[in-house]
Chains A and B, each alone.
Chain A
C-alpha cells in the first residue's frame, strides 16, 4: 500500500488532527482484530503446554504434549495424509486450471458461458458438494461405479470405503471444487500479458510452444505464486471433506490434521494435546510459506 504522502502546503495543525482521527478510526479494528485472530493463535501456544479437559483447571506440563506427539504413530499418519492431500490437490488443480484458462483465453465464442460454469463449484457449499460426491462415490449404487460398469470395468474400487482409494477420492472432489478459483485468477493474469510481447516473439520466429514457455509462463509467475501460496495454506487445513465424506476413515486413511485436532479437542477433550497439534500445523504452514517466499526469487518474475 504505497501512499501519496505529500503533505506540502498542509498545516501542522491539520497533520496532528489527522493522526488523532486516524487512530480514532482504527481503534475498533485494532481491538476486535487482535482479540479474535492474533490472540487465539498465540493463546493456543500456552494451552499446548498444559493438560486440560475443560472441566478442571489446566495443569502445566511444559513440552510433554509435543513429546507425546513425536511418539504418536497416529499423528505421524495424520501428517502423512495431510501432506499427501496437499501434494495431490494443489498441483493437480493448478495444472487443470492453467489448461482451462489457456483454452478460454483464446477469445472463443462461449467463453463467458464456460467461465461461469467452471466457477460454480467454488461458490457451492462444501458440505452440500461433499454429500453429493459421497453419493457419486458410493460403492453399490454410486454414479461413478455405475459408469465404470457401463464401460466394462467389472470390479471398480470401493472408493470411500477402501484405505487405498479414500484419500484419492477426497483429492478428486477437492480438485473438482477448486479449479474454478485458480482458473479465474489465471485468466486475469493471462489478460495482463502485453500483446506486444507475443507479436515480438512471433517476428523472432517463436512457435506457440516457445511463446508459452518464454512469455506466458514467466509473465504468469506472480499469479502462479499467489495461487500456490493460498492453495497450500488452505489445503493444509482441510477438514469439511474429511468429516463429511469419510469421518477420517477407513482406518484413519483420510484423517487430516485439523480433523484430528477437532476430534481430540471436542470429542476426547484433550485441549492441551490438540493445541500442540495446532501449533505443529501452524509451524508447518509458516515454514512452508516462508520457504516459498524464499524460493520465489528464483522463478517469479515481477516487472
Chain B
C-alpha cells in the first residue's frame, strides 16, 4: 500500500476525509474546553463561537463550591497508590514467571492470563458484600483493592515477558556475590525493566482515573468521591448550568489528555504489548 505514488487528487481527498474525521473527534472535546469559559447564556446564544472573554469563574466555582478540589486529590492519590502497588506486587509475581523454572509455572501463567478476559464487573455483588464484610465499603481502600487486583494480569503479563529477556549472567554474578534471591530481584533486575514499568504504570493509570463503575457502588461518602463520581453528582445538582458543568468536565478530562500528550508513545506501547502476542 505504501509504495504506490499517490496522485494529487487522491492526496487532497485523503486529507479532506482525515480532516473531517479529525473534526468529528476533536469537536466534542474542544467544545467542552471552549464552553467551560462561557456562562450559560453565551453557550446557548453562541454555541459555536469562541468565548467573549476567557474568564475562570466557572473553574473557581467548581473547584471550591463544587468540591472538585477534593475529587481531584482523591483521584490523584487513589490512582497513584494503586499504580505503585500494582507495580510492586505485579513485578513480584512476574519475576519468577519470567525467570525461574518450577513446577506449576505454566498453570500459574494461564491463571493470570485468564484474568485478562474475566469480566470482573460481573462479580460486583459478591465484591460489594466482601468489601462490606472487610469494612472497606465507603473507603478508598475498596477502590485500591479492586484496581490492583484487576490490573495484575496485564502487569504480570508484560513484566514477565520483559524479565525473560534479561541476560542470565547478571543474576549468576550476583548469586556468586552471595546476594539473596530477593535482593537480586529488587536491586539487579527491577532497575533493568524500568521502561516496562513506566509503560505498565501509565497504561493502568488511564482506566483507573476514568473509572466510574466501582466508585458508584463502593463510595457514598462525599469526602472520598473521585472525579468521575463527583462529576456525576455535580451534574445532578447543576443540570442547567452548562458553563459550570463544562468546567467540571474539563477538570476531569484534561489531566489525562495532558498525560496522554506527553506519554502517548508509552500508551501505544502498552496497548500493543497486550495485544500482539
Contact check: which of B2, B17, B95, B231 meets A25 at CB < 8 Å?
Answer: B95
In the bound complex, residues from chain A placing their C-beta under 8 Å from that of B115 are 33, 37-38
- Interface segment among B53-61, B76-84, B122-130: the answer is B122-130
| CB nearest to A129 among chain B residues | B28
Per-residue CB contact flags for chain B residues 59-99 toward chain A (1 = under 8 Å, else 0) read 00000000000000000000000000000011011011110
In the assembled complex, the Cα of A102 lies from the Cα of B14 at a distance in Å of 11
Q: Are B209 and A266 in contact (CB-based, < 8 A)?
A: no
Whether the Cβ atoms of B14 and A108 lie closer than 8 Å is: yes
Residue B177 CB within 8 A of the other chain: no
CB-defined contacts of B24 to chain A, threshold 8 Å: 176
Instruction: Provide the main secondary structure of the chain B interface.
Output: helix
Query: Interface residues of B toward A: which range?
Result: 35 or more
Determine if B100 and A19 form an interchain contact, defined as CB atoms under 8 angstroms apart: yes
Query: Known interface pairs A36-B146, A41-B123. Does A26 touch B96 (Cβ–Cβ under 8 Å)?
Result: yes
Q: Which of A3, A47, A229 has the most CB of B within 10 A?
A: A3
Task: Tell which of B32, B122, B276 touches A128, judged by Cβ atoms closer than 8 Å.
Answer: B32
Q: A40-B126, A118-B21, A135-B242 are in contact. Are A239 and B213 (CB under 8 A)?
A: yes
Q: Taking CB as reference atom, which chain B residue is nearest A216?
A: B1
Q: Are B264 and A119 in contact (CB under 8 A)?
A: yes
Residue ranges of B at the interface with A (Cβ–Cβ < 8 Å): 1-4, 6, 11, 14-15, 17-18, 21-22, 24-26, 28-29, 31-32, 44, 47-48, 89-90, 92-93, 95-98, 100-103, 105, 108-109, 112, 115, 117-130, 145-146, 148-150, 152-153, 156-157, 160-161, 164, 175, 181-182, 185, 206, 209-210, 212-213, 216-217, 227-228, 231-232, 235, 242, 245-246, 249, 252-253, 256-257, 259-261, 264, 267-268, 271-272, 275-276
Contact (Cβ within 8 A) B125 A131: no
Chain A residues, Cβ within 8 Å of B48? 143
Which A residues touch B124, using CB under 8 A?
Answer: 40, 261-262, 265, 278
Which applies to chain A's interface (DSSP): helix, strand, loop or mixed?
helix
CA of A161 to CA of B271 in the docked complex: distance in angstroms?
Answer: 36
A35-59 CB contact bits vs B (8 Å, 1 = yes)? 1111111011001000000100000
A35 interface neighbour in B112, B130, B264, B271, Cβ under 8 Å = B130
